[in-house]
Chains A and B, each alone.
Chain A
Amino acid sequence: MANLDIKLKVDASGLSCPLPILKATQGIKTVESGELVEVIATDPGSVKDFDAWAKATGNALVEQDSADGKFRFVLRRK
């Protein structure tokens, strides 16, 4: 895993749909264009949701992985 310069971490663990993408949307508005936000979620639906969210909003999904029932997303603000 590359050593990324994460500006903001958003913990959406335990939250159900649509809170992970809502919290991510809230978070990404607080960083500058080009900066990275990391989101941790436990909602399995968030995997497809972040893909759709990136396509719809134009923010990039830079990395996505999962371990121990947690899903991690790294988003770059457009």
Chain B
Amino acid sequence: MDETVSIVLFSGTDDKLQAASVLAAGAAALGKPVRILLQYWALDAFRADRISADHGLCPEAGEAGRAAVDAASKAGVADWADNLRTAKEVGDVEVQACSLSMDVLKLKQSDLDSLVDGVQGVASFYINAGEGQIIFI
């Protein structure tokens, strides 16, 4: 069985980035290789000058959701970028930027945070994913 977990990360709000970072970090801790492809708004959130900014929450969060997430961060829930950094330290985790999204957003790799390992097209994403699971967030 192919153990690789591949995550297509499309959404750029902090809640979805957080959910993806938890899935990635958990898989890394279990020893599974993790491959993350950043597209569109997720890619935008990985810009070096914005990665620590507030990226908001998805619309269904509402005000009560916002308050719950704020309380959780105060209580010490790790930031998604920190989760990914730790996951990369302990496991085999690779973060790639989708080359089409790079074009659309007019980004160069030097614009991105060091969490991003490189730029990748969809064919190489599928080859790396092999027969393993693919998660879209």
Contacts and interface: CB of A to CB of B under 8 A. Distances in A.
A1 B83 CA distance: 34
Main secondary structure on chain A at its contact with chain B? helix
B31 to A, nearest CB: 5
Main secondary structure on chain B at its contact with chain A? helix
Interface stretch (A3-11, A23-31, A63-71): A23-31
Interface residues of A, number: 17
B90 A56 contact: no
A33 interface: no
A15 B76 contact: yes
A21 B29 CA distance: 6
B29 A15 contact: no
Interface string A16-43: 1111011011100100000000000000
Contacts of B30: 21, 52-53, 56-57
Given A22-B90, A26-B86, 9 more contacts: A15-B76, A16-B75, A17-B26, A19-B86, A21-B30, A22-B83, A25-B91, A26-B89, A56-B31
Interface of A: 14-19, 21-22, 24-26, 29, 49, 52-53, 56-57
